[in-house]
Amino acid sequence: MERAKISIVLVGALTFNACGREETATRVAPRDARVVANVVARVGERPIGAADVAARMTDQGLDARTALDRLIEEELLAQEATRVGIREDRDEERAVERVMVRAMLRDFEAELTPELVAREEVRADFEANRDKLQVPERRISWHILVKDSSQDGKRKAESIRNEVRAADDPKAVFRRYAEDGEAKPELAVTAEELPPITPRASIEQPYKDALFAAQSTGLLDAVVETSYGWHVIVLTEILPGERKTLRDVEEEIRVRLSKKKRFERMVEVVRKGEADGLVTYDEEGVARLMAMPGLPTRAE
């Protein structure tokens, strides 16, 4: 069975703080084996059944294989938590997640805090991601679109542009088309405001070219054609780019690297459990699971 990536649940667990962890570890007995129907896998003596998988599919919108992988990963970490002496509250359905957090943070936080990430690592990460850490110039605009690429569509757009140019309140023209529009099939008109965009934004190039060619805010000099039709564009704000220094982003980098290190250490626990043979699959059970009628479908 192909293994999925370590679940996002674990990443979420890493963001919790350790203030609620138990200060004194107490040794506990191994986790009791459950009697379950339709066993599809075992982690040590702990069985995972088709009903467990179905419940996880419903809760998190997963497919069956991913749900099974996540249950295995969590159980491996829970068993590691038990091994290092963390008490698990057996009466609460989601106690295992808190167990993982307490166990892993207790063992790792002293050596994996943001403050203790080596300065050389921070600088190397900054250099490797320098471009990503910079904030390019962004531009904010609204537009009125005539959804017709013909010359009739262009003439309609130019007429609307003249409306905008002559209006005491150009935004009033925008609101009229945004709220009412024109429902003629051959010349449908819509209006929308766009969030700040950069030259790399995933919108059509002619729109971006026109927007970033403008020297100042206001109504653009001409209507612009894209595959959607003809646009009347108003540039409302220019947000200058920012060149961030290492000092500006050092704390952000340290936090990100420390979380990455904690996640990698948790992955090691899961992988070691697999290597030690704790995980076994009941292939017939897995086959039954995949063919079982009535399983929830994956959420889209």
pLDDT digits (tens, 9 = 90+) for 129-167: 888 778 889 999 999 999 999 999 999 999 999 999 999
The per-residue pLDDT for 93 is 42
pLDDT digits (tens, 9 = 90+) for 9-50: 343 333 333 333 333 333 333 444 446 778 888 888 788 888
Q: How much is the average pLDDT of 183-206?
A: 84
The per-residue pLDDT for 59 is 83
Q: Which domains does the chain have, with CATH numbers?
A: 8-118+253-291 (no CATH), 136-239 (3.10.50.40)
Residue 276 reports pLDDT greater than 50: yes
The per-residue pLDDT for 44 is 80
The DSSP result for the chain, as a single string, is -PPPPPPHHHHHHHTS-STTS-SS----PPPPPP--SSEEEEETTEEEEHHHHHHHHHHHT--HHHHHHHHHHHHHHHHHHHHTTPPP-TTSTTHHHHHHHHHHHHHHHHHHSGGGS-HHHHHHHHHHTHHHHSB--EEEEEEEEE---SHHHHHHHHHHHHHHHH-SSHHHHHHHHHHT-B--GGG-EEEEEEEEE-TTSSS-HHHHHHHHH-SSSEE-SS-EEETTEEEEEEEEEEE--B---HHHHHHHHHHHHHHHHHHHHHHHHHHHHHHTT-EEE-HHHHHHHHH-TTPPPPP-
The per-residue pLDDT for 212 is 96
pTM above 0.75, yes or no: no
Percent of the chain with pLDDT over 70: 68
Residue 200 reports pLDDT greater than 50: yes
Residue with the bigger pLDDT between 37 and 222: it is: 222
